[in-house]
Amino acid sequence: MPVANAKEMLLEATRKKYSVGAFNVTSLVQMEAVVEAAIQMRSAVIIQTSVTPAKFFKPEVLAAAYRALAQASPYPVCLHLDHCTDPEFCKRCADAGYTNIMIDASLEPFERNVEITKEVADYCHRTGDITVEGELGTVLGVEDNVKVSGGQVALCDPDKAEEFVRRTGIDIFAPAIGTAHGVYKSEPKIDFELFARIAEILNGREIRAPLVIHGGTGLSDEVTRRLVGLGGSKFNVSTELKHVLMDATDGYLAGHLKDYNPGKLDAAVFAATLEAIRRWMDILGSAGQY
Ligand code: 13P
C-alpha cells in the first residue's frame, strides 16, 4: 500500500467507531514491529516519532525506512511527527516525507496557538498530501520536550474547539480532556462528558476533524473502549513502548550478555513490541478492519 496520511484512515475509523493506534517509536526495530503487527492484524496504523528521535535519526532517514515498510503492507500506514513545538522542524519533516504533522502550540495563548498551527497547516497542505494535528488545552505530564505541570493543565474549551479547527485548517484535533502523558500515578480524571460534547460539536453532523486521545499508556481497557465509543479515532501510546523496549532488552541481556549477539537482542525487542501492539489493536477495534 502506498504511504497514507492520517486523515483518510481516521475518517474511516470515526465512521466505523474504532480507533487507529498511533505508536511512538525510538528505534527501527520498533518501527518494523509496529508495521508487522498491522499486517498480521489487518489494521491501519500510525507510526509516531517525537522530536528527539526524529532529530537523532534524521527525518529523511526515518521517512525512507517508513516508505519501504509502508509499501510492504497491504493496509494504510502513516508516519506522524508528534508534539513538535517548532514550525520550522515541522516543515522539515513534511518536506522529508512524514505524512502527518502535529504542531503543538497548546502552551501558547489561544490566538498565538491559532497563528502557529495555521502556519504549519498551510505549509503542509501546500507541500503535499500531508495532514496536520493541532491541540487545544494542555495534557499533563512529559512527552519528549513538552513538559506540562499540574499548574499548567487546562482542559479544552469546547466553545473554542470549532473556531480552532475552522481558523487553523487542521485535519485532526487533539482536545485535552484529562488524560496524561507518562505513567498514571492515580486514577486518571477524564472528562468524558466534555469529550462527548466536543465530538458532537465537531463531528456530530459531518466529520470535520477526527479526534485524538493522548496519554494511552496505563488507561484501562474499559476507559479506552469508552473513549473510542465516544469518537476517539487516533489513540496515542508512547510510554508503554519505551517500557517494553527497555524491559525486553534488560530481560534478554540478563541471560545472554556474554553471547554478544545483537541480532537476538533485536529479535527479543521485536517480539515484545509486536505483542504489545497486537493487544492495542484488539482493544481499539482496528484489528480486522481491512
Ligand atoms: P503515553 O506516553 O502516556 O502513552 O502518551 C502518548 C502520547 O500521547 C503521545 O503523544
- Does ligand 1 come within 6 angstroms of the Cβ of 104? no
Decide if 65 is inside a domain: yes
- Does ligand 1 come within 6 angstroms of the Cβ of 217? yes
Asked whether the predicted pLDDT for residue 84 surpasses 80, the reply is yes
- Does ligand 1 come within 6 angstroms of the Cβ of 215? yes
- Neighbouring CB atoms inside 10 A of 68's CB total 10
CA distances from 3 to 67, 117, 127, 278 (A): 6, 24, 15, 21
131 CA to middle of ligand 1, Å?
Answer: 20
User: Does the annotation count 82 as an active-site position?
Assistant: yes
279 CA to middle of ligand 1, Å?
Answer: 16
What does the pLDDT read at residue 73?
Answer: 96
Whether the Cβ atoms of residue 286 and residue 13 lie closer than 8 Å to each other = yes
Q: Which of 32, 26, 93 is nearest to 63 (CA)?
A: 93
Asked whether the predicted pLDDT for residue 286 surpasses 90, the reply is yes
C-alpha–C-alpha distance, residues 44 and 26, integer Å = 20
Which runs of E-coded beta strand occur in 59-184? 77-84, 100-103, 131-136, 141-143, 146-148, 172-175
181 CA to middle of ligand 1, Å?
Answer: 5
DSSP state letter for 110: H
Q: What is the CA radius of gyration of the chain?
A: 18
Query: Domain range for residue 252?
Result: 6-284
Which CATH number does the domain housing residue 11 bear? Answer: 3.20.20.70
- Does ligand 1 come within 6 angstroms of the Cβ of 83? yes
Residue with cell 509496529: 34
CA dihedral angle for residue 51, residue 53, residue 57, residue 58, rounded to 10 degrees: 0
CA distances from 5 to 2, 55, 62 (A): 10, 21, 15
Q: The whole model's pTM is what?
A: 0.97
Decide if 253 is inside a domain: yes
What does the pLDDT read at residue 58?
Answer: 98
Decide if 289 is inside a domain: no
Which cell numbers hold the place of 139? 495534557
Which runs of E-coded beta strand occur in the chain? 20-24, 45-49, 77-84, 100-103, 131-136, 141-143, 146-148, 172-175, 211-213, 232-237
Decide if 260 is inside a domain: yes
Decide if 63 is inside a domain: yes
- Does ligand 1 come within 6 angstroms of the Cβ of 80? no
CA distances from 214 to 12, 37, 138, 246 (A): 20, 21, 10, 22
Q: How confident is the model at residue 186 (pLDDT cuts 50, 70, 90)?
A: confident
**Beta 141-143 vs 146-148: how paired, if at all?**
antiparallel
Catalytic residue among 82, 104, 144, 171: 82
Q: Which of 20, 144, 239, 283 maximizes ligand 1 atoms within 8 Å of its Cβ, making it the mutation to test the pocket? A: 239
Q: Which of 173, 212, 238, 277 maximizes ligand 1 atoms within 8 Å of its Cβ, making it the mutation to test the pocket? A: 238
Decide if 290 is inside a domain: no
What does the pLDDT read at residue 148?
Answer: 87
258 CA to middle of ligand 1, Å?
Answer: 35
144 CA to middle of ligand 1, Å?
Answer: 10
C-alpha–C-alpha distance, residues 143 and 155, integer Å = 17
Q: How confident is the model at residue 246 (pLDDT cuts 50, 70, 90)?
A: very high
What does the pLDDT read at residue 139?
Answer: 84
Question: Which amino acid is present at 169?
Answer: G
Question: Which amino acid is present at 209?
Answer: A
- Does ligand 1 come within 6 angstroms of the Cβ of 239? yes
pLDDT, greater one: 285 or 184? 285
C-alpha–C-alpha distance, residues 80 and 277, integer Å = 17
Q: Which of 19, 24, 85, 100 maximizes ligand 1 atoms within 8 Å of its Cβ, making it the mutation to test the pocket? A: 24
Specify the number of domains making up the chain.
Answer: 1
What does the pLDDT read at residue 2?
Answer: 79
Q: How confident is the model at residue 192 (pLDDT cuts 50, 70, 90)?
A: very high
* Mean pLDDT computed over 252-267: 96
Decide if 1 is inside a domain: no
Which cell numbers hold the place of 167? 481558523
Decide if 199 is inside a domain: yes
85-123 pLDDT tens trace: 999 999 999 999 999 999 999 999 999 999 999 999 999
- Does ligand 1 come within 6 angstroms of the Cβ of 232? no
